[in-house]
Structure 1
């Protein structure tokens, strides 16, 4: 079990603590609908990657973070394979203010989970008889910043007064 002290993130008076309690696969699926004929196909595959993340509070200072990966490989109109994976972890986060807690759950936890998800996806694809595929690193900080920007825009549109002709 990893245990790290994050100093300064929650203020000078208290020490923030981060602990990985468990990492596990929550859901997994691999489909190769065109096999075995697809093994003889030639061409450049088109890969489509979708990421999603869910956070749930399990108890005081304990959270489940789920990193979802959906990877679809197509050759022309034919689907070569589909990988659907939910890599999850239970994390203890104590002493963080609300802003830093949100940041840790939105960036640090997915960064911890990603190498496990990448490895599992690669193993599934190879076990399906296809060449190795390695997901490139993901900048979760940039994704988090974009989600903050979208949240701010939604708040503006909700709180903006309606303009109408009277």
Structure 2
């Protein structure tokens, strides 16, 4: 009788651009404005099982640039990866889905966002490197704080 292989498995199955949009609601007028726009970048990470041992990890970015109260451009992009992950304990699985997988997917997202912005006629926005370990640790701490009951106050 053959023994089941219980060695941990972590493999990239595929990395793909799941969704991207570029909006320029105030073009062409806004293109004539030479003022420096403000740039707001929001990032998110989502992980979901897709089949036994397969997980989709999606890194989402929203880049909103404005001059005064007018939008120059708005980019929303989702870069995803499918990963085979087997024989991991739940704490290891959480770290892999929240740290290792986003670190693999994020460079593709950065490149695609810079490219779509440049193809829209703007200088590329270079998104900074992200410390997914710190982001994951912060999310875990916030979840633990939300789950723990408030300590009882004793008034004497």
Same fold, judged at TM 0.5 (above): yes
Question: What's the Cα RMSD here?
Answer: 1.9
1:112 aligns with 2:104: yes
For residues 116 and 74 of structure 1, the distance between their equivalents in structure 2, rounded to whole angstroms, comes to: 25
58, 69, 89: which one pairs with 2:61?
A: 69
Does 1:52 pair with 2:44? yes
For the residue of structure 1 that corresponds to 2:14, the secondary structure is strand
1:7 corresponding residue in structure 2: none
Task: Output aligned runs, 1:90-101, within 5 Å.
Answer: 90-101=82-93
Give SS of 1:23's match. strand
CA distance in structure 1 between the partners assigned to 2:50 and 2:116 by the alignment: 30
Tell me the matched-pair count.
151
- 1:30-70 Cα deviation digits (max 9, x unpaired): 00111111221122211111111211111221101111111
Name the CA distance, whole Å, in 1 between partners of 2:56 and 2:126. Answer: 25
Match of 1:88 in 2: 80
The corresponding residue for 2:3 is none
Which residue is 2:147 aligned to?
Answer: 155
Match of 1:134 among 96, 109, 126: 126
Query: What SS is found at the alignment partner of 2:60?
Result: strand
Aligned to 1:30: 22
d(CA) in 2 for partners of 1:44, 1:161: 49
Identify the structure with bigger relative contact order (alpha carbons < 8 Å, sequence gap 6+).
2
Q: Distance in 2 between matches of 1:28 and 1:44?
A: 24
- TM-score, with length taken from structure 1: 0.84
Structure 1 gaps, min length 5: 1-13
CA distance in 1, matches of 2:8, 2:40: 38
Cα distance in 2 between the residues matched to 1:161 and 1:124 = 50
3-state SS, counterpart of residue 18 of structure 2: strand
- Segments of 4+ moved more than 6 angstroms: 161-165
C-alpha distance in 2 between matches for 1:150 and 1:96: 24
What TM-score comes out, normalization by structure 2 length?
Answer: 0.89
